[in-house]
Amino acid sequence: MRARVSAMHKIISVVAFVALFSPIFSINTNAQMMSKKKMGKLTKDQKILHVLNRLGFGAKPGDVEKVKAMGLERYIEKQLNPDSINDSEAQAKLKNFEIINMETAEIFAKYPNPGALLRMLNGNGRNNRRNAQNRRNNQNSEMNPEKSQQDQRAERRQRRRQLIELYQKYDLKPANQIPLQVNASRIVRAAYSDRQLEEVMVDFWSNHFNVYMNKAATRWYIPSYERDVIRRHALGNFRDLVVGTAKHPAMLFYLDNFQSVSPNVNRNNNQRRRAQRLLNNPRAKERFIQRLKQQGLSDEQIKQRFEQLKNGGNRRNQRGINENYARELMELHTLGVNGGYTQDDIKEVARAFTGWTIFDARGYRKAAANMIKDVEQDRQLIRQARQFGISPNTESGTFIFVDRLHDQGPKTILGQKVNEGGMKDGLKVIDILVSHPSTAKFIARKLAVKFVNDKPSDKLVNRVAKAFQKSNGDIKTTLRALFSSPEFFAAENYRAKIKTPFELLVSSVRVLDANTNGGPAMVGLLRNMGEMLYGYQAPTGYPDTAEDWVNTGALLQRMNFAVALASNRIPQTRVDLRQFEARNKREILDKAIDTILNGEISNGTKSTLIKQIDQPLIEPKLADSMDDDSALTMGRNGRRGNRMNRQARLRSPSGNPEVFKVVGLILGSPEFQRQ
């Protein structure tokens, strides 16, 4: 009985199998082609589309024809050599983003760290202490708590006024412009640059070597990081990327290496000397006690303070080795998590990178110097420059190697001795890591996931890894190996990747030939979809597989983005939908499907769309339903106010609703989420 059932099953499945491949069923319209059985070979047009999707951010109208005329192989080779592509059109659109061409120190000066301004308002160095003392005295004289709170509020208001005055007087700009401009410039480049593969690789490497804009001073370093390291080497050599990121203040700050010093260095020598002087000189000691008393410290607290001094000063300032960078360098940047390193290796690598640090890492000095020319120079920094043996004129936020902070002596890394001394220790470590076979495999797999599918075969990975290793980490060679492997054009990988939110946003702009400057509303939508650039906190960077991107809230945001774009709700972004106008709804639909999906749509989606276009657009009863735009974008709970928030708010829909409904639905359809 059982056997018979199973035989029956076999017959049925054989029939089904034959049906799948029989010519009758596969005289396919494009629509049928999409229905899950991507077994045959890709057509020429599909191959071109595939390349435009994977090596770029999707097709603009006319792109397929252009590539066809040029030849697909030649197109790919040109993409691998972005300098051979004239990109003046995109460059012109980038003119408004001054930040991307500015040096870090300039950004510190013009878009200052608010912390630096507050420090200035409080006075610098000595003044700082005096002001604080004055404030304390004022408080002491004011014992009525209610009134004190009023005073405090008044003080805060005054502080805000003073800050605003500073911004106006010196023509300063708010620092939250930095991530907005960086994001906008990337949207514009990805949408309009003909160097598409370069943009894809910038996206790839900036996630591989992720830094997070909201970690303290990291954001001031991002424009230079992207321009001078990531973009510069995006299609160059992998070692240059590792060295470049290792040295760059963005990474040094984000992964704390700038604070990592040899445990043998006592940075508090000065502090300790001063403490000794204080303890040995009775008059100085008495003065110090008086001062502490004035500050309201109890005898017990004063006693403790002296104990602290005897023990070598404030513990907080004592620093040692920080392993964060060393660990991520191996786990995330080179070898991969199972790449064969141990906790001891992490320690040794961390030792090798001690002394790789940043001068004036928060840009305080630059911000202050720019505004008040005769400001007392920050003594602490001048002292530090002297200690570090560097010029006191060193720009804020510059990478420096400080030999006296470096942990000298031999290190053993992955079984190899490293004893080059000074900065060469770190460089040697990088050599060892980038030439390690685990690195080749790790990078090859990651690239295969990016360009081929979420679960690439070992065979493919090994082939690509070999190319990586043979070429000593040449990225072009590695990519060529990937693009020329049979898996790349395999039919089952066609539209097999889910677009990331950034890819969805840019490919939508491209396919509609929309005009955008990537303004705050656009960035806000990108953020809502979950992928504001440099907005990923963990050093892993944004993930790249469907599992990570597809969830309820995120899909809703994708659909809302699609509608917002199609109905021209996004300020500073225009879509001309006249191209889709036609005599009737059915023709509008066909045009939209042809343009946006290259005519490739599942029967189900298509028949639903046909039904949908006949539904009434407005149900009168619900026409006035609340629609709080600010909730969609960056504005906080609809709080009105500054210019940026206003720019971020969406407008009312405009255009022919029959058209934008269809276009919005298609951009938000499952089909368009794939590439």
Partner 1 sequence: MDRRYFLKSSGIALASFGLMGAAPEFLHQFANAATLENVYGKKKILVTIFQRGAVDGLNMIVPHGESEYYNIRRNIAVPKPGRNNGAINLDGFFGLHPSMRSLEKFWKNQNLAIVHSSGSPNNTRSHFDAQDYMESGTPGYKATRDGWVNRVLQVKKDDKASPFRAVSMTQQIPRTMMGRYPTVAMTDLRTFAIRAGQYTNSVSGGFEGIWQQEANDRLGETGKDTFEAINYLKKANPAQYRPQNGARYPNGRFGNNLRQIAQLIKAGVGMEVAFTDTPGLGWDTHANQAFGGNGAQGQLANLLRQFAQGIAAFATDLGKKMDDVVILTMSEFGRTVRENGTRGTDHGHGNAMLVLGNSIKGGKVYGDWKGLKSSQLYEGRDLAVTTDFRDVFGEVAYKHLGSKDMGKIFPRYSLNPSKFKGFLS
Q: Taking CB under 8 A as the criterion, which residues in 295-334 touch partner 1?
A: 295-298, 300-301, 304, 307-308, 311, 315-316, 324, 327-328, 331-332
Distances (CA, A) of 510 to 62, 189, 203, 663: 11, 11, 17, 13
In the complex with partner 1, the residue whose CB is nearer, 81 or 540, is: 540
In the complex with partner 1, the residue whose CB is nearer, 29 or 612, is: 612
Residue type, 115: G
- The string of DSSP codes covering 119-135 is HHHT-SHHHHHHHHHHH
**Which member of 83, 286, 376, 628 binds partner 1 (CB under 8 A)?**
628
Site for partner 1 in 131-150 (CB under 8 A): 132, 135-136, 139, 143-145, 148-149
Scanning 98-106, 201-209, 273-281, 538-546 for contacts with partner 1 by CB under 8 A, the matching segment is: 538-546
**Which member of 53, 183, 396, 528 binds partner 1 (CB under 8 A)?**
528
| E strand or H helix at 431 | helix 424-434
The 3-state DSSP class for residue 413 equals strand
Contact between residue 225 and residue 72 where contact means Cβ atoms under 8 Å apart: no
Site for partner 1 in 139-198 (CB under 8 A): 139, 143-145, 148-149, 152
**Which member of 124, 370, 500, 560 binds partner 1 (CB under 8 A)?**
560
In eight-state DSSP terms, residue 237 is: B
In the complex with partner 1, the residue whose CB is nearer, 19 or 382, is: 19
Distances (CA, A) of 443 to 102, 324, 331, 447, 507: 31, 21, 12, 6, 26
Max Cα-Cα span within the chain:
106
Site for partner 1 in 335-374 (CB under 8 A): 337
In the complex with partner 1, the residue whose CB is nearer, 82 or 635, is: 635
CA dist., res. 71 & res. 79, Å (int): 12
Distances (CA, A) of 270 to 364, 406, 416, 440, 609: 22, 19, 37, 47, 75
Site for partner 1 in 73-132 (CB under 8 A): 132
Q: Which of 57, 77, 59, 35 is nearest to 491 (CA)?
A: 35
In the complex with partner 1, the residue whose CB is nearer, 172 or 514, is: 514
Q: Are strands 356-359 and 515-516 parallel, antiparallel or unpaired?
A: unpaired
Scanning 183-191, 238-246, 368-376, 621-629 for contacts with partner 1 by CB under 8 A, the matching segment is: 621-629
Contact between residue 324 and residue 538 where contact means Cβ atoms under 8 Å apart: no
Question: Residue 348: CB partners within 8 Å, gap ≥ 6?
Answer: 411, 412, 413, 418
Site for partner 1 in 219-258 (CB under 8 A): 255-256
**Count of residues that bind partner 1 according to CB under 8 A:** 92
**Which member of 611, 640, 641, 643 binds partner 1 (CB under 8 A)?**
611
- State the virtual CA torsion across 371, 374, 376, 381 in degrees, nearest 10: 60
CA dist., res. 523 & res. 509, Å (int): 13
Token readout for 353 is: 């990178």
Contact between residue 510 and residue 49 where contact means Cβ atoms under 8 Å apart: no
In the complex with partner 1, the residue whose CB is nearer, 24 or 618, is: 618
In the complex with partner 1, the residue whose CB is nearer, 145 or 415, is: 145
CB of 336 to partner 1, least distance (A): 11
Scanning 65-73, 353-361, 381-389, 531-539 for contacts with partner 1 by CB under 8 A, the matching segment is: 531-539
Please write down the HEC assignment for all residues of 308-373: HHHCCCCHHHCCCCCCHHHHHHHHHHCCCCCCCCCHHHHHHHHHHCCCEEEECCCCHHHHHHHHCC
CB of 567 to partner 1, least distance (A): 6
CB of 478 to partner 1, least distance (A): 24
In the complex with partner 1, the residue whose CB is nearer, 259 or 517, is: 259
Compute the chain's Rg from CA coordinates: 30
Contact between residue 672 and residue 666 where contact means Cβ atoms under 8 Å apart: yes
CB of 604 to partner 1, least distance (A): 4
In eight-state DSSP terms, residue 632 is: G
Distances (CA, A) of 36 to 32, 180, 673: 9, 40, 15
Question: Residue 323: CB partners within 8 Å, gap ≥ 6?
Answer: 260, 346, 347, 350
**Which member of 625, 640, 641, 643 binds partner 1 (CB under 8 A)?**
625
In the complex with partner 1, the residue whose CB is nearer, 171 or 547, is: 547
Residue type, 353: F
**Which member of 563, 588, 596, 659 binds partner 1 (CB under 8 A)?**
563
In the complex with partner 1, the residue whose CB is nearer, 245 or 478, is: 245
Site for partner 1 in 413-472 (CB under 8 A): none
Scanning 23-31, 62-70, 242-250, 630-638 for contacts with partner 1 by CB under 8 A, the matching segment is: 630-638
Q: Which of 557, 572, 563 is nearest to 657 (CA)?
A: 563
CB of 589 to partner 1, least distance (A): 11
**Which member of 23, 615, 640, 641 binds partner 1 (CB under 8 A)?**
615
**Which member of 121, 278, 546, 644 binds partner 1 (CB under 8 A)?**
546
Scanning 61-69, 221-229, 269-277, 532-540 for contacts with partner 1 by CB under 8 A, the matching segment is: 532-540
**Which member of 609, 647, 649, 659 binds partner 1 (CB under 8 A)?**
609
CB of 148 to partner 1, least distance (A): 5
Scanning 116-124, 460-468, 511-519, 564-572 for contacts with partner 1 by CB under 8 A, the matching segment is: 564-572
Site for partner 1 in 39-68 (CB under 8 A): none
Contact between residue 376 and residue 326 where contact means Cβ atoms under 8 Å apart: no
CB of 553 to partner 1, least distance (A): 4
Q: Taking CB under 8 A as the rule, which mask of x and - marks residues 631-670 in contact with partner 1? A: xx----x--------------xx---x---x--xx--xxx
CA atoms within 13 Å, Cβ hemisphere of 593: 20
Question: Residue 127: CB partners within 8 Å, gap ≥ 6?
Answer: 376
Token readout for 55 is: 């090596």
The 3-state DSSP class for residue 424 equals helix
In the complex with partner 1, the residue whose CB is nearer, 272 or 476, is: 272
In the complex with partner 1, the residue whose CB is nearer, 298 or 412, is: 298
In the complex with partner 1, the residue whose CB is nearer, 373 or 611, is: 611
Q: Does 614 bind partner 1 (CB under 8 A)?
A: no
In the complex with partner 1, the residue whose CB is nearer, 487 or 658, is: 658
In the complex with partner 1, the residue whose CB is nearer, 282 or 616, is: 616
CA dist., res. 446 & res. 399, Å (int): 29
In the complex with partner 1, the residue whose CB is nearer, 28 or 301, is: 301
